[in-house]
Amino acid sequence: MTIEIRSPSDDQLEAAMRAGTASFGDQPSEDDIARHRKTMPLERFLAAYDNGRPVGTAAAFPFELTIPGGRLRAGGVTWVGVLPSHRRRGILTKFMQYQFEDLHERGEPLAILWASESAIYGRFGYGIAAPSNSIDAERVRFRFRDDPGPTGAVRFLDADEAAEVLPPLYDRLRVEIPGMFARRPEWWTHLRLADPEAWRRGAGPKFFAVYEHDGQAEGYAIYRVKDEWQHGIPQGQVRIHEAFGTSPSATREVWRFLFGIDLIARVQAQIFDPGSPLPLMVTDMRSLHLTVGDGLWLRFVDVEAALRARSYAADEPVVLELRDDLCPWNAGRYRVGRSVERTEDAPDLELGVADLASAYLGAFDFHTLARAKRVVERKAGALARASGLFRTERPPFCPEVF
């Protein structure tokens, strides 16, 4: 079987998209296709062709990702799927190899993704870089510790108002939190604020609420309500898509609002910030029912450029020896400290490129990697030096599956 990997032409794109969604047991609507045309550049969409017929897809959004101390171009990998008729024939590997080389040529040092199947991407050099929590909280048990009482006010917005008010608030947070990415206006319009019926999954429409204090917008929430009753007792759910405050007090008031919605039994967020102060703000953290997931995965396309773009919390350098079978240009030794450079010096630590990805945004330190047998210390004290270098003030977080 000869498989051709290439970008479809404009008139071939719909057939390719239908093959890609069919690999997940679904089919896109005409509105879905139109939406994706507006958010995904055609030249970044790939299809696998078997005798001229599309049998799988992969794509990569052009993102700007927040990293410790700065921002960096990244390919947001998505649409990865192969029809059941063509699985286990090496097509996914071909996609990955093609995509790494393409992103490298584009000058995008990182690839990031949310994995539909979490066991797949480690073998392609991806590491868990920004774990995500979820909550399924009991509304009746929600109380704040040392509650000073409510401040400010919440105001509802329609979609047009939300498109004006929410992006500046998001951007205030994005530049501070590793793992978040910049959203273009069309992303807000056609994805984050869009509300197709198929996305509701039995719940109501999206609501957009902004929290204001002294006339200034300081937080917001995007959510739905799932109405449900049992024996005349309300058992509804608030399903949160995004909830942010630009300060601890604003965060408290946004969550006060969400837990104050009537006729609700549960407040749910499938993607919840591990760095949120909320669990320590409440009297009963157990009632939040926190769980941990793998979240955002990261892969180095150009490890030297990625290391140079990052800031470091200490000055004493460490020499890392990296393995990378799929992107051999990454393999080698790097002195990381006040500056980053390739070196022939003896290594202090040895690890694979996927494991360095788990430390890059600050999610895991090198002691944790060592306890998991993911890094080898060649010189005493190197784990402590590396952990000091890569330390961040807060854990990374990506608030959106793409």
Read off the pLDDT of residues 178-217 as tens digits, 9 standing for 90 and up. 999 999 999 999 999 999 999 999 999 999 999 999 999 9
Read off the pLDDT of residues 231-267 as tens digits, 9 standing for 90 and up. 999 999 999 999 999 999 999 999 999 999 999 999 9
CA distance 45 to 40: 7
Instruction: Write out the two tokens for 321.
Output: 């020896």
CA distance 370 to 349: 10
Q: Evaluate whether 11 touches 37 at the Cβ level (below 8 Å).
A: no
Report, as residue numbers or ranges, the catalytic residues. Answer: 121, 402
> Does residue 1 register a pLDDT over 70?
no
Read off the pLDDT of residues 43-95 as tens digits, 9 standing for 90 and up. 999 999 999 999 999 999 999 999 999 999 999 999 999 999 999 999 999 99
Instruction: Write out the two tokens for 198.
Output: 């198929």
Q: Please report the pLDDT score of residue 170 as a whole number.
A: 98
Read off the pLDDT of residues 114-167 as tens digits, 9 standing for 90 and up. 999 999 999 999 999 999 999 999 999 999 999 999 999 999 999 999 999 999
Secondary structure letter of residue 139 according to DSSP: G
Q: Please report the pLDDT score of residue 186 as a whole number.
A: 97
Q: Please report the pLDDT score of residue 382 as a whole number.
A: 98
Q: Record the pTM.
A: 0.96
Q: Please report the pLDDT score of residue 333 as a whole number.
A: 98
State how far Cα 70 lies from the chain centre. 17
Read off the pLDDT of residues 329-375 as tens digits, 9 standing for 90 and up. 999 999 999 899 999 999 999 999 999 999 999 999 999 999 999 99
Going along the chain from its start, the domains and CATH numbers come out as: 3-108 (3.40.630.30), 143-283 (3.40.630.30)
Instruction: Write out the two tokens for 104.
Output: 């490298």
Could you please report the per-residue DSSP string of 25-72? Answer: T----HHHHHHHHHHS-GGGEEEEEETTEEEEEEEEEEEEEEETTEEE
The pLDDT of 223-230, averaged and rounded, is: 97
Q: Please report the pLDDT score of residue 365 as a whole number.
A: 96
187 three-state secondary structure: helix
Could you please report the per-residue DSSP string of 284-353? Answer: -GGGG--EEEEEEEEEESSHHHHHHHS--S--S-EEEEEE-SSSGGG-EEEEESSSEEE--SPPSEEEEH
Q: Evaluate whether 222 touches 207 at the Cβ level (below 8 Å).
A: yes
Can you say whether the dihedral through the CA atoms of 328, 333, 339, 345 is positive or negative? negative
